[in-house]
Amino acid sequence: MKKIKYLFVFLAILCSAIVLKPVTINSFALGSSGKAMCVLDKDSKRVLYSKNMNEQLPMASTTKVVTAITVLNNCSNLEQYIQVDDSAIGVEGTSIYLKKGETIRVIDLLYGLMLRSGNDSAVALACHVGGSVDGFAKLMNELATKIGANSSHFANPHGLDNREHYTTAYDLALITSYALNNPKFKQIVSTKNYVMPATNKSDKRYLTNKNRLLSTLDGCCGVKTGFTSKAGRCLVSAVERDNRTSVCVVLNCGPMFEESADLLDASFTDYEQTKIIDKNKEIFNEYIIDKNNGKLYLYTQEDFYYPLTKEEKSKLKLNYDVKLDDAQAGDEVGEIQVFLDKQLIKTLKLYTMNKIDKLIDSKTLQIREILWDENLDENK
């Protein structure tokens, strides 16, 4: 009987990086007097701070974040002139004072929507894109579902009080994170002042953004204020620093600007963007027993960054699940899972850097846990 030595390698690697214990707002000397709050890292979607973030609440004109991105997703020509629908004339609340029979560009209505918070702009855009307010609300709800904002329901494009119109701080942060990936959305909400060209019914309109954080908070890139007597003062804001963006939502919060600024500043003081996976470096590098006694190299095709507190930077657990059999260079052979305090936060596909010949006396090499047995013999 010939004894053949081979490896069933199973590796969970303990790196000097990160066993994460989710941070709660009580861990920090800051909070919010608002009814609900959520600070979200835009790219990883990690919740950095929260308070009642899943409570369904009215959100006033912060609704227009959803309105704007819904328009941008469904309107290919922003330079198009449209005639304002009669239903947009005289809508209650804030207004850019559209006139009956007025012809205006879609892009100008978007600036009127997000800077001046024009409710008439909202209705005009809704009728153009959705055919009616109800038709547009359906598109808004479809978008929310697509993004995963499953605790929200939209009944109108402007945010005036309605029993069927509500969101959560988390959902609104999630939708805003999605919207900020659209360059035109980001351009509009970060604009401090805008001049709307004259139309057939109006002289030029001069708009000033109501979000004062654009002028007072370093790196602020938007996004929207809101107020009704029922919703209270609401603010969605975002800050971009060092190639990372934090999104903050406060609902029914009196000092909304001050508290949002404190939360956003804290998100960059308390959390550091950490590169956990580097696509330019091999993830796995071990000898295996194949016909050529080759060495196995595995890699991912994307980097993975995650915001971490200093206290969290102690241990990171990476689990591999790989199966090999006559793998060619570049083949997908499994996945790597990143765990933080026993919670899965990311799964990435793994690929081979090199050709692997068929293993002797084994059809697959399985990698699942720490298991390294160099004395395992098999009788033939």
Q: What is the pLDDT of residues 168-180, one digit of tens each?
A: 999 999 999 999 9
Mean pLDDT of 347-374: 54
Catalytic hit among 32, 50, 61, 237: 61
pLDDT in tens, 118-168: 999 999 999 999 999 999 999 999 999 999 999 999 999 999 999 999 999
Does the annotation mark 177 as catalytic? no
User: Which DSSP state fits 85?
Assistant: P
Residues 6 or more apart in contact with residue 269 via CB below 8 angstroms: none
- Within the chain, which residue ranges are assigned CATH 3.40.710.10? 34-254
Catalytic hit among 42, 51, 64, 224: 64
- Within the chain, which residue ranges are assigned CATH 2.60.410.10? 4-19+276-378
pLDDT, averaged across the chain: 84
Residues 6 or more apart in contact with residue 49 via CB below 8 angstroms: 23, 25, 28, 30, 37, 38, 39, 263, 266, 267
pLDDT at 323: 76
Q: What percent of the chain has pLDDT over 90?
A: 66
Give the neighbor-by-neighbor strand order of the sheet with 36-41. Answer: 47-51, 36-41, 244-251, 232-241, 220-228
Does the annotation mark 152 as catalytic? no
Comparing 147 with 313, which gets the higher pLDDT? 147
Domain 4-19+276-378 in CATH 2.60.410.10:
yes
Query: Does the pLDDT at position 379 exceed 90?
Result: no
- Give domain 34-254's CATH architecture: 3-Layer(aba) Sandwich (3.40)
8 A C-beta contact, residue 138 and residue 130:
yes
Does the annotation mark 132 as catalytic? no
Query: Does the pLDDT at position 11 exceed 60?
Result: no
Catalytic hit among 50, 117, 152, 190: 117
Mean pLDDT of 51-69: 98
